[in-house]
A = this chain, B = another copy of it.
Amino acid sequence: MKAIVVKPPNPGVEIKDVKDDENKLSNIGLVKVKILENGICGTDREIVSGKRTSVKPPIGKDELILGHEAIGIVEVGGYGFKEGELVMPINKRGCGKCLNCLIGRPDFCETGEGLVAGTKGLDGFMREYLYDDPKYLVKIPPAIKDIAILAQPLADIEKSVESILTSQKRIPIWTCDDGTLNCRKALVVGTGPTGILFSLVLRTYGFQVWIANRRELLDNEKEILDEPRILFYNSAKGYESLVKDVDKFDLIIDTTGASASIIQELVPLLQINGVLGLFGFPRYDNFSLDYKIVQDFVINNRIIIGLDNGQKPHFQQALIHLASWKSLWPKTASKMITKIISINDEREVISSLREKLPGEIKVKIVWE
């Protein structure tokens, strides 16, 4: 079958024929899924560019099928899945050893030995079809098929917000005097797909949300943030004037994935009992905090929390949120998929895997 393949640690990517899994004994208990579409994300491009050092092919191989965002259609069902149903495979798989993996939550795996499709020891989803364990398949409601590919990156954010809200339970009352979170102020740093998705989820939970970048918004970004009333702040000159206008923030999320030094800018913006969520993967530099800032952090019950990938319950929650946004913020929803490429348009596929276009939110490859 056809697949999109990389040979880490070498840069490069190609569309080629790979040996298929048809008729394997090991397919017993699995569901056969024909892939309909794949999403491309920054991680894919990092692998293609040869910059992601942690990427690993399956044991005994030197090639890896790329892709961790996919929607497919069940071709041979069973185990609760029927032919013709739409499904999304989950990328992170359990280690088979630790308690969290045993109960279906490899997102908190304690051994670090779990495989991740498309990036770590397991072939990804950019291929004609796959046989997969029903435990790692999420049903996709046909009514939101157009934007459902976002459920994969969104699942990570659902899990992150869940982690944050659970951690905040250490505070007897973090809700407002009407029982909601409407008085809580959140700052999301970064206006990439992750920053935008975080903002949308936090709005859905009732937070007031500011989103920041060091450049002005592009037109399509503006349109996306308009209906949900997410406020933009240009942080090119720092955050001083934002804090002057708005006050400090109860929740700050870093999604920048650039210099680690952003952390030292953000910690002082935290409100009493506030949380700094680190989602973006810093790529260089360091951050440094003074003892006085640490004193302030300690005395005010603050936390800094590392936020990582989501699992099946978060994929399902992501789908509910996507469905709600389609009704609530139809313009926003319609602007999230910025490009659709046919797998047959090989040049365009390869080019999209190499470079992000300005204003891109999500690019889809469709198999036809």
Show the binding face of A for B, using Cβ within 8 Å: 99-100, 102-105, 107-112, 135-136, 141, 143-144, 162-163, 166-167, 169-173, 175-181, 204, 206, 259-260, 263, 271-273, 278-291, 294-295, 297-308, 311-313, 316, 320-330
Contact = CB atoms under 8 A, between A and B. Distances in A.
Contact of A169 (B166, B286, B308, B327): B166
Given A100-B173, A172-B100, A287 B285 contact: no
A284 B320 CA distance: 39
7 contacts: A111-B272, A180-B312, A284-B291, A286-B291, A298-B306, A303-B303, A320-B321
A280 B291 CA distance: 11
Contacts of A272: 109-112
Contacts of A281: 295, 298-299
Nearest to A285: B291
Most B CB contacts (10 A, CB to CB) among A171, A178, A328 go to A178
Contacts of A322: 327
Contacts of A170: 162-163, 166-167
A274 B303 CA distance: 13
Nearest to A108: B171
B104 A103 contact: no
B313 A323 contact: no
Nearest to A183: B80
A113 to B, nearest CB: 11
Nearest 8 A-B pairs (CB), nearest first?
A: A104-B179, A260-B291, A323-B327, A324-B324, A323-B324, A288-B288, A282-B291, A166-B170
Interface of A is mostly: mixed
A204 B322 CA distance: 13
A283 B304 CA distance: 21
Nearest to A141: B328
A99 B100 contact: no
Contacts of A289: 260, 263, 286-288
Contact of A179 (B178, B311, B329): B311
Contact of A100 (B169, B171, B279, B285): B171
B297 A179 contact: no
Given A179-B311, A282-B294, A99 B303 contact: no
B295 A282 contact: yes
Contacts of A102: 99, 102-103, 177
Nearest to A305: B303
Given A100-B172, A102-B102, A304-B304, A327 B144 contact: yes
Contacts of A167: 166-167, 170, 303
B175 A104 contact: yes
Given A170-B162, A323-B328, A175 B290 contact: no
A99 B301 contact: no
Contacts of A298: 278-281, 306-308
